[in-house]
Amino acid sequence: MIEIKNLHKSYKMGSNALHVLKGIDFSVKEGELVAIMGSSGSGKSTLLNIIGMLDTLDEGSYTLDGVPIKDLNETKAANYRNKFLGFVFQSFNLINYKNAMENVALPLYYQKVGRKERQEKAMKYLEQVGLKEWATHLPSELSGGQKQRVAIARAMAAEPKVLLADEPTGALDSTTSYEVMDLIQKINDEGNTILVVTHEEDIAHMCKRIVHLKDGVIVEDKKVKQVRAKNYV
């Protein structure tokens, strides 16, 4: 599904450059649940943003579902991103003046799905994250965990090939974090491919594989026995 070879990325800082990713080799098969773990500043978000086509690479290659990303022009890249990738962020990124259902329906609007089907699909995904009763509530009326579940429903409503989550539990207390990870595990159980960026070891162990980033290189890439989050909720 994802194949990255010898990936390098630098940020320009005035006349200097900050070399953030220094030769990453990384691939992910369909159905995997992978944690990208590392301390703050190790390059996790940079890597995830490149995988998510929110940022570009300097050197190396990246192939997503058989398509070399470098070959796509901007419009094609945007279409490809909307069609193939779902995003979840630490800060939820919900639209404050839209209710839960409208937030979930939004990507479907961009996919030009008709109004009625949008609403039906949004309700279906809200139900899957256990928030059907909260459909007409605004984000400000939801707890942090509920907001993240709306964000996950929104990402899944577009039926992406890969779900990318950058510190999805970063703003949540531990019980709520486990609830969110329980949901991510369930979505993966259904066969969805998911990448979770985290700096927390216990969250990483709720994935099936841990890729450890340190100073821009992968220092360890191992399969782990998945800890089920619901045992902790």
x/- letters, 3..22, toward ligand ADP (CB under 6 A): --------x------x-x--
Cβ 93 to ligand ADP shortest distance, Å:
16
x/- letters, 43..82, toward ligand ADP (CB under 6 A): xxxx------------------------------------
Question: Per rule CB under 6 A, is residue 110 in the interface with ligand ADP?
Answer: no
Q: What is the footprint of ligand ADP within residues 18-47 (CB under 6 A)?
A: 18, 20, 38, 40-46
Question: Per rule CB under 6 A, is residue 146 in the interface with ligand ADP?
Answer: no
Question: Per rule CB under 6 A, is residue 168 in the interface with ligand ADP?
Answer: no
Cβ 106 to ligand ADP shortest distance, Å:
26
Question: Per rule CB under 5 A, is residue 169 in the interface with Mg ion?
Answer: no
Question: Per rule CB under 6 A, is residue 169 in the interface with ligand ADP?
Answer: no
Reading phi first (left if > 0) and then psi (alpha if -120 to 50, else beta), residue 100 is in alpha
Question: Per rule CB under 6 A, is residue 114 in the interface with ligand ADP?
Answer: no
The C-alpha atoms of residue 152 and residue 166 are separated, in whole angstroms, by: 12
- Smallest CA-to-CA distance from 211 within 31, 28, 56 is with 28
Cβ 168 to Mg ion shortest distance, Å:
12
x/- letters, 16..55, toward Mg ion (CB under 5 A): -----------------------------x----------
- Smallest CA-to-CA distance from 203 within 76, 1, 44, 46 is with 44
Question: Per rule CB under 6 A, is residue 154 in the interface with ligand ADP?
Answer: no
Cβ 162 to Mg ion shortest distance, Å:
18
The C-alpha atoms of residue 149 and residue 154 are separated, in whole angstroms, by: 9
The C-alpha atoms of residue 171 and residue 200 are separated, in whole angstroms, by: 12
Cβ 87 to ligand ADP shortest distance, Å:
14
CB 25 within 8 A of CB 31: no
Give the rounded distance of the alpha carbon of 178 from its chain centre: 16
Residue among 22 and 124 whose Cβ is closer to Mg ion: 22
Cβ 91 to Mg ion shortest distance, Å:
11
**Binding interface with ligand ADP (CB under 6 A):** 11, 18, 20, 38, 40-46
